[in-house]
Structure 1
Amino acid sequence: MKTKSKPSRESSLVHKLGIVGGLGSLAGGDLFYKLVKSRAVLEDQGRYHFLFEQHPFKDVLMPLDRGASMTSRKFYVFQVCQTFEASGVSAIVLPCFASHTFREEIQEEIGIPVLDMMAALRRHIDHVVEPGTVLGILASDYVRHAGLFERYFGSDFKLVYPGADEQSGLMEAMYGVNGIKDGYLDGVPLECVYQACLSLQEQGATMVLPGMTELSLVCGDLQRRGITVLDINEIYAGFATQQKGQSNRPPFKLGIVGGVGPAATVDFMGKVVAHTPAGRDQEHIKMVVEQNPQIPDRTANLLNDETDPTMAMYATCKRLESAGANAIAIPCNTAHAFVERIQAHLRVPIVNMLAETVEAIVQRYGAGKTVGLLATSGTIKSQVYHEAARRAGLHIIAPGVDYQALVMDAIYGALGIKAGFTEGLCRDQLLIAAEHLCELGADVLILGCTELPLVLQHGEAFMIKGHQVALIDPTTILAMKCIQLAGEHSGERSNLHLG
């Protein structure tokens, strides 16, 4: 008596497939049945899990004529695929030829493979016929004129389509009243499909390729009439069970906790765009932003024990995480006093602007420097910059009490930056505080509040009352680090540098 061999560790790994239903209910059900009865599944049933999602799709019976709109179909497919991704499936099966005309668009937005039905068909054809063979195509007007089969087969095979009358009959057989999509699989609809096949044979086709998944429902009848036609659902099912379902790698997406403050968020995004080495729109970085000015004031909490912003910041980060962010940027220096307690509860990293700023200063100017810090009193009290600087061998100095009051008024005052001012009193107040730090021995100044670069610009040689000082903008450094991460994600080396 034969016994089944023990499955290998690789074969015992669960393979979870999501099937997009609803684009052709009968064809989707037929594919599901052929998946379940495929050899791979029957031999190792514990390994395969299937999720079949079918929702009302208003255009399901719409004839796919040459000018058919794909908009609703695209959105439907994307929403179902998004559900599958959240459910942890290994790969997605999409049994619809029209949907494969835009499969790449869906794949760009989904982090798991949307299995290519046309690739499955091409692989099968390569095993059964020689290059140069005449292949007959039974497809909707839309798929035919979209050139889908030409993309996969046109360079190696001669493709022929039914004549005009036979193509019209094929469309009626599929989409008409009492057609195949309605479950009428014999009689007039079957005869119309058969006549279309004969038209292909008259043009020299030795094999018929289906461009409608519903043709699998009548494949057996056509074969019994002597037509060499392929069962696409069976081919696709076999292909799907053999794929390892390795994750796709969508483009890098940067999540931004915005609104802390609002103008600083816009400034940060502008710097990401300005420093990205892009020659066209599509080479820029994806960004998802939650502009949430309702996050409680960070300085008010640190100084006066007012409302704790941790929960609001964490909730914002989680929403960015759910939106697919690969990393999170918080363009607010004071908010970094709360980052450590949040990071442990996130799956994606928060890019630490303060740590990156200190590292950039050391790389540019060396350790042992005395660095002046222009920041909110909350940032200074939290000592987050001081601790990062101490670890890197830098000495941080902050303004004296009276000068720090000027900095706070420049940020929060009635004529301050958060009130929309970038010239006049607020600038004068910052320059007085900066001069004070220079007199204390600083030759590098950190613009340690993200509103400050709206007034004073990042630069190597800024003159303040006879003192030449380097102004360091953490927002710029954060932007450049995020660009570097995006490049590493796509496998590119970054040539960005502070300067």
Structure 2
Amino acid sequence: MNGEVLVGILGGVGPAAGLVLHQEILRNTLNDGTDQGHLDVVHISRSSDMAARPAYLAQLEAGETTADDDHNAIENPAYGMARSLSMLVLAAEARSARLIVGVPCNTFHASPIWDTFAALVAAEHADHVTLLHMLDEAVAMIGRLAPHATTIGVMSTTGSRRARIFHDRLEPAGYTVVQVPDHVQDALNDSIYNTEWGIKSTSPSIHPRAVQNFQSYAKLLAHMGAQVAILGCTEIPLALTGSEIYGMLLVDPMVALARAMVRSAAPAKLVPLDIKLPRDVHLGKPKRTLSVRSDSVDLTDACETLR
């Protein structure tokens, strides 16, 4: 290795998420006003080789199969990602560079997927690949910048919720985790996946209905006592911009990962967090551009049921 560093984005999960991560890397890098001041980044997006993460986890939950070589089974997405990583490694080897890698997908970090992927990386590329865990970085960000927070709200897909990917990281760190009630989760999931107005379907433009819905879910979490809300799907920050809502700090795992990648590659290039926050809010995140504005939804009845 010659001291050169290459930042690697393992995308395709979904494709737009990798673009968002690259954008956040740029936003969080001090580049001295020049193109040449940015980090070297390689982004590989191979969606066709990435099995659906929620479908794979649902298969495991149903007990349909536990064997990755079962021809009738959905392949563990870890294997497709390992194939993408091999391509990144070739790019790094061409420059004799150290490789810093992140995966811009919350559900990919579920233990049955991530643990398999991490084992493959350790077995084949341990000497020159630094693998960053997006959810660990989000928890670390909360710990550093919101040290007095005790209750964390989470908004995520139903697949991530069932896999408890955030619980598994937050609860061992001493946090209480709250989520929207079960009967609201279906609506939250639909606000992500609805083919007409869901955030995954319309991104980067956001439908006003989705904005209103996520404002309402945030209000529910605030009434449940959350001091911090994790935006646990890569597109949710497009609907909830800024650094706080209803007195809660908003934490975007994608921003946490981007900042960790910059910090690992070149600490001196990391943009300081300089957003001025309310007294009880300890963290900001770069805003993403959003052309849609919407009034908040009246949730009086829903919030009364939580008291």
- 2:278 aligns with none
Q: Which secondary structure state, in structure 2, belongs to the residue aligned with residue 361 of structure 1? A: helix
2:82 to 301, 314, 318: 314
Higher relative contact order (CA 8 A, sep 6+): 2
Counterpart contact for 2:28–2:270, Cα < 8 Å: no
Sequence identity (%) = 29
- 1:487 aligns with 266
- 1:473 aligns with 252
Alpha-carbon displacement from aligned partner over 1:110-163 (angstroms, at most 9, x marks no partner): xxxxxxxxxxxxxxxxxxxxxxxxxxxxxxxxxxxxxxxxxxxxxxxxxxxxxx
- 1:86 aligns with none
1:375 to 156, 179, 198: 156
1:303 & 1:472 partners in 2: Cα distance?
Answer: 27
Counterpart contact for 1:373–1:447, Cα < 8 Å: yes
Size of the aligned set, in residue pairs, is: 244
2:202 & 2:47 partners in 1: Cα distance?
Answer: 15
Return 5+ residue gaps in structure 1 as ranges.
Answer: 1-246
Q: Which secondary structure state, in structure 1, belongs to the residue aligned with residue 247 of structure 2? A: strand
Q: What TM-score, normalized to structure 1? A: 0.47
Alpha-carbon displacement from aligned partner over 1:187-227 (angstroms, at most 9, x marks no partner): xxxxxxxxxxxxxxxxxxxxxxxxxxxxxxxxxxxxxxxxx
2:208 to 424, 427, 439: 424
Counterpart contact for 1:360–1:477, Cα < 8 Å: yes
> Displacement of 1:494 after TM fit?
4.9
1:285 to 28, 39, 46: 39
Equivalent residue letter for 1:292:
R
> Displacement of 1:447 after TM fit?
0.3
Alpha-carbon displacement from aligned partner over 1:86-107 (angstroms, at most 9, x marks no partner): xxxxxxxxxxxxxxxxxxxxxx
Q: What TM-score, normalized to structure 2? A: 0.74
Alpha-carbon displacement from aligned partner over 1:290-342 (angstroms, at most 9, x marks no partner): 11222122112213457232221221122222221611111111111122221
1:433 & 1:299 partners in 2: Cα distance?
Answer: 21
- 1:412 aligns with 193
2:233 to 433, 449, 455: 449
Alpha-carbon displacement from aligned partner over 1:251-301 (angstroms, at most 9, x marks no partner): x11111112122222111111111100021111011111112221221122
- 2:272 aligns with 496
Q: Structure 2 vs 1, CA of residues 496 and 344 (structure 1 numbering), >3 Å: closer, same or farther?
A: farther
2:2 & 2:56 partners in 1: Cα distance?
Answer: 42
Counterpart contact for 2:7–2:39, Cα < 8 Å: yes
Equivalent residue letter for 1:335:
F
> Displacement of 1:493 after TM fit?
7.5
Q: Which secondary structure state, in structure 2, belongs to the residue aligned with residue 445 of structure 1? A: strand
1:387 to 168, 191, 198: 168
1:391 & 1:425 partners in 2: Cα distance?
Answer: 36
Q: Which secondary structure state, in structure 2, belongs to the residue aligned with residue 345 of structure 1? A: helix
1:319 & 1:381 partners in 2: Cα distance?
Answer: 32
2:224 & 2:207 partners in 1: Cα distance?
Answer: 26
Q: Structure 2 vs 1, CA of residues 300 and 432 (structure 1 numbering), >3 Å: closer, same or farther?
A: farther
Q: Structure 2 vs 1, CA of residues 398 and 447 (structure 1 numbering), >3 Å: closer, same or farther?
A: same
Counterpart contact for 2:262–2:269, Cα < 8 Å: no
1:276 to 1, 20, 29: 29
2:102 & 2:78 partners in 1: Cα distance?
Answer: 15
Larger Rg: 1
Counterpart contact for 1:458–1:472, Cα < 8 Å: no
1:376 & 1:321 partners in 2: Cα distance?
Answer: 31
2:272 & 2:107 partners in 1: Cα distance?
Answer: 26
